[in-house]
Amino acid sequence: MLPDSEEEVMTTTTATRRARPRAGAASMVLALACAAQFMVILDASIVNVALPSIQRDLGFTGTGLAWVVNGYLLTFAGFMLLGGRAADLFGHRRMLVAGLLVFSAASLAGGLAAAPEVLVAARVAQGTGAAMLAPATLAVINTGFTEGPARARAFGAWSAAGGVGGMAGAVAGGAITTGLSWRWVFLINVPIGAVLIVVAMLALAGTRAGRREPLDLTGAVTGTGGLAALIYGVMQSAEHGWTSWPVAGPVGAGLVLLVAFAVVEARFSVRPMMPLRLFKIRRVAVGNGMLLLFGGIAIAMWYFSALFLQNVLGYSALEAGLGQTPAAVTFVVVARVAAGLLARAGVRALVLAGSAGFVAGFGWLAQADAGSGYLTGVLGPTLLVAAGIGLTFPTLMAAATSDVAEGDAGIVGGLANTASQVGGSVGLAVLATIAGTKAETGSSPAALASGYDLVFLVAAGLGLAIALVSALLPRPPAP
């Protein structure tokens, strides 16, 4: 079968010549990438349970408190493309270590913060460090493992680590805040980061040191500014209406900057930060499109099912986290199984199987109400959805970062992470609006349940959309 473009011929040929790190076992490299990804995703959720304690101790206002979460998410998603390209230019090890240093230093500052402004600034810096780390972890896997089963297993482990980090946040945050102090939610990252820096220096000693090429500053400013403005505007939609200036202004400015970014990269930049030729590779283009849709599905699963458990069934935050633990375990197990199946079954087959889990699970979950029990109303459907996530997430990440040259591994990792994060941010805002509009007649458990049920139906539709988009993937070659 012919490749999708001449560019794919070039990148596929280059991809087959990737070398493993010359120092350190492959297992150490994978453990490093997984541990860094776990820490990055954990910090996106672990703070949530600690927010009431933080507000009492530091005197946050209600609006200001939201920026303890939003400050991290904004810079994490907004700077991901820049972090990915920087990894290609300055070296994967260098950016991974730099990201760990920034992340750990910001965690120390957050744990010692004595004023609201200091904690918010620390969270912004943490998000910046995370944006340097996440693409580098993907690049390390992409260049350190050959195509085929080994690479698929590596992506499965990396995806599982992120999933466990996201789900462990609620439980770990509650335990640390109750047993120690909210400050240890941040301080715990400091010794972990120090250990990972040492491991990175040893395990990645023989990896590529980058290339002597200047950073595309115009592309960096327009691309990063556009993403940050877009996400900032979307974040305001929960407090303001979609047509209000606090939302429409930043969203409009972000879209204008992103259009300018595309024009600059296509016509004026000699060495673009985001080479548009990568979108000629069908797996990259289609994979990132599906990751955008997947972001909304992940939010519907983990965020809104937790709200259902708390606001409809009356669970505490810690109980809700524990109630989602079986689904988290299912995700981890299925993600590892999917890694073994990917080379034999192919991307499309696993995506279709995962989409079936989304449609069936969310369709079942949409039937739950205030009188539903946990076992039949929540546990059963969330296990189906979690299995679908386990099948699709590592598969989509592997597809969206495959068939590219080693020198572009960082930017495609940043692009894939950005697609997932932007899809989650926009999905959260849109689905929260849908839930609030449906339940606007009251705040009783029955009214809230009707809003969440509509969210789950929309998520089932997103699962069906992913199945349809997967038809655009290139067909595997005949044996």
% of the chain with per-residue pLDDT over 70: 84
Tell me the pLDDT band of 77, cut-offs 50, 70 and 90: confident
What was the pLDDT predicted at 18? Answer: 43
CATH class of 24-207: mainly alpha
**Per-residue pLDDT band at 15 (split at 50, 70, 90):** very low
Q: How far is CA 285 from CA 31, 53, 289, 290, 416, in A?
A: 29, 43, 6, 9, 10
Cα gap 173→317, rounded to integer Å = 10
Residue 103 has pLDDT above 90, yes or no: yes
| Average pLDDT of every residue of the chain | 79
How far is the CA of 107 from the CAs of 42, 137, 354, in angstroms? 13, 19, 36
- In this predicted structure, what is the pLDDT of residue 100? 92
Note the pLDDT of residue 305. 84
Q: Which two tokens stand for residue 12?
A: 């596929």
Confidence of residue 209 (pLDDT cuts 50, 70, 90): low
Angle (nearest 5°) at CA 442 between 440 and 445: 115
Model confidence band, residue 363 (pLDDT cutoffs 50, 70, 90) = very high
Q: Report the amino acid identity of residue 436.
A: G
Burial class, 17, CB count within 10 angstroms (exposed 0-12 / middle 13-18 / buried 19+)? exposed
pLDDT at 3 over 70: no
A 10 A CB-CB count for 146 gives 15
For residue 23, the model assigns a pLDDT of: 37
Q: Which fold has domain 278-479?
A: Growth Hormone; Chain: A; (1.20.1250)
pLDDT score at 357:
92
Q: How many Cβ atoms from other residues are within 10 Å of residue 56's Cβ?
A: 10
Range with lowest mean pLDDT among 91-95, 174-178, 190-194, 388-392: 174-178
Pairwise CA distance, residues 131 & 84, whole Å: 8
> CA 346, CA 451: separation in Å to the nearest integer?
37
Range 257-275 average pLDDT: 82
Residue 12 has pLDDT above 70, yes or no: no
Cα–Cα distance measured from residue 184 to residue 91, given in angstroms and rounded to the nearest whole number: 32
Distance CA 347, CA 352 (A): 9
pLDDT at 8 over 60: no
160-193 burial code (b ≥16 CB/10 A, e <16):
bbbbbbbbbbbbbbbebbeeeebbebbbbbeebb
Of 64-73, 221-230, 342-351, 434-443, which gets the smallest average pLDDT?
434-443
What one-character DSSP code corresponds to residue 232?
H
